[in-house]
Amino acid sequence: MTRILLVDDHDLIRQGLKRAFERTDDFEVVGEAASVSEAFTLIEDTAPDVVIFDVRLPDGSGLEATQRARSEHADLGLVVLTMYAGDEQLFGALDAGASAFVPKDAPADDVIAAARHAAQSPHSFTAPDLADAMRRRMTPTG
């Protein structure tokens, strides 16, 4: 079983994610946090395989939390989940050391697939729009 920690300040989002993961045979939700500080306490207490961080949390950035988690727990799978799914956020997640980036409007199956990827390949990065984002970044504008 892959152990998952959900970090989002909205209870409704956490509950929806929890239910989606409970429908699978290979994931166990070991904790839920509504803030960065709660997340790091639970990371130490529950030893998850994957952490799903919302980008915006009441006591800090999910991107900064991802970077900290990567530096403190090198092999932890890290998924960044956000309502703000622009290139800036995607590349911020990549730079922070995330394993995957998923917009919140994605289907639950995409979040589960990202968590599977993060568990199996925590040091590689995937995102639904990665190829197009790379093209946009490499193409001069103006």
- pLDDT for 142 equals 52
Backbone φ and ψ for 54, nearest 5 degrees, come out as -75, 150
pLDDT for 141 beyond 80: no
Tokens at 86, concatenated: 């622009």
Q: What is the pLDDT, as a whole number, of residue 140?
A: 67
Lowest model confidence (mean pLDDT) among 33-42, 86-95, 96-105, 110-119: 86-95
Q: Is 12 helix (H, G, I), strand (E, B) or coil?
A: helix
Cα–Cα distance for residue pair 27/131, rounded to 1 Å: 28
Q: What is the pTM of this model?
A: 0.92
Q: What are phi and psi of 88, to 5 degrees?
A: -60, -45
Contact 55, 81 (CB under 8 A): yes
pLDDT at 83: 87
Whether the pLDDT of residue 75 is over 70: the answer is yes
Token pair 């995102």: residue: 127
What φ, ψ does residue 124 adopt, rounded to 5°? Answer: -110, 160
Query: What's CA 124's distance to the chain center, in Å?
Result: 13
Report the run of H or E that residue 117 belongs to, with start and end: helix 108-120
DSSP state of 71: H
- pLDDT, averaged across the chain: 93
pLDDT digits (tens, 9 = 90+) for 116-132: 999 999 999 999 888 88
